[in-house]
């Protein structure tokens, strides 16, 4: 009798559990949104970007937040790769006896950075065309990891010490975490203050003024333009595209001392490119 009652009780409990909401179907925006958050927590930025692309490509209840998040992630990963590449270049100069492995890392990392930078520019262009009339941009950047401080291993690499594979992987992860954190700070106008960045993003309905977000995106375009400078990938047409796009991003925004200085510097860099052609 007791065993029969136990079976009945388990049946009732299982039936109650089965009446809960079904998880979102794979391939839907809801699935992509939840999966992006899960992958962001573990630092799998490739999968996070894949899921955000699924959400961002159509208009749905999550796309308004997914698109700015996608931009920050693309910019941050590009910058992370760029920074590590720069230090491996310093390392190649310092380690005159064995510069080849350093240069191999520089080439690989700048190739990855270039891919992400171009994806950022193209995604931002699409985002601008579909900009909502709202003066506030909804922001949600998932779990921001790491620190705004440079990983200590960068100094080691820059001095000419070749890292073991495991150390290199750890450095790259730390640099990507930092790049994303700093890209988020620019988008929010909080700069390198990681505590302010995380505080502003608290809650489900965080917003940032449209002008602040656009200035952050313009600053990001200028930062990424450096990848295509003569001492790096030496692609003047791409550099010109990024700098021109940066100026276009802030067109029509209210003038300020900082914005005037930004325009002046960016225009001067553009003039240098045009003069050399």
> What pLDDT digit, counting tens, does each position of 210-253 carry?
999 999 999 999 999 999 999 999 999 999 999 999 999 999 99
pLDDT at 276: 79
Tens digits of per-residue pLDDT, 59-99?
999 999 999 999 999 999 999 999 999 999 999 999 999 99
SS3 208: strand
What is the maximal distance between C-alpha atoms in the chain?
Answer: 93
Which tokens is 142 given?
A: 């998932």
Q: Which of 35, 58, 59 is nearest to 48 (CA)?
A: 35
pLDDT at 3: 47
Tens digits of per-residue pLDDT, 146-193?
999 999 999 999 999 999 999 999 999 999 999 999 999 999 999 999
Integer Rg of the chain from CA: 23
User: d(Cα 43, Cα 41) in Å, to the nearest integer?
Assistant: 6
136 backbone dihedrals φ, ψ, rounded to 5°: -120, 135
Name every residue whose Cβ is closer than 8 Å to that of residue 213 and which is 6 or more positions away in sequence. 68, 137, 139, 187, 188
Tens digits of per-residue pLDDT, 45-68?
999 999 999 999 999 999 999 999
SS3 13: helix
pTM for the whole structure: 0.90
pLDDT at 141: 97
Q: Which residue has the higher pLDDT, 41 or 11?
A: 41
Domain ranges (residues) in the chain? 24-210
């Amino acid at each position: 009798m007791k065993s029969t009652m136990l079976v009945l009780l388990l049946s009732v409990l299982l039936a109650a559990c089965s009446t809960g909401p079904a998880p979102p179907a794979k391939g839907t925006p809801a699935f992509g949104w939840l999966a992006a958050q899960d992958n962001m927590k573990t630092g799998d930025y490739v999968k996070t970007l894949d899921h955000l692309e699924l959400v961002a490509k159509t208009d749905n209840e999550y796309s308004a937040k997914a698109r700015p998040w996608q931009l920050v992630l693309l910019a941050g990963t590009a910058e992370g790769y760029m920074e590590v590449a720069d230090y491996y270049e310093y390392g190649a100069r310092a380690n005159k006896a064995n510069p080849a492995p350093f240069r191999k890392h520089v080439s690989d990392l700048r190739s990855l950075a270039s891919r992400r930078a171009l994806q950022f520019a193209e995604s931002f262009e699409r985002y601008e065309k579909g900009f909502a009339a709202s003066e506030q941009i909804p922001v949600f950047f998932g779990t921001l990891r790491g620190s705004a401080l440079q990983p200590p291993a960068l100094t080691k690499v820059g001095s000419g010490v070749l890292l073991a594979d495991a150390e290199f992987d750890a450095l790259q992860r730390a640099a990507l975490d930092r790049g994303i954190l700093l890209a988020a700070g620019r988008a929010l106008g909080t700069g390198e203050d990681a505590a302010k960045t995380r505080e502003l993003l608290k809650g489900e309905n965080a917003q940032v003024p449209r002008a602040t977000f656009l200035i952050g995106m313009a600053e990001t375009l200028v930062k990424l333009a450096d990848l295509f400078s003569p001492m790096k990938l030496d692609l003047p047409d791409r550099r010109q595209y990024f700098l021109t796009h940066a100026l276009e991003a802030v067109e029509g925004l209210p003038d300020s001392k900082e914005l005037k200085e930004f325009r002046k510097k960016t225009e001067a860099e553009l003039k240098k490119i045009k003069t050399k052609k």
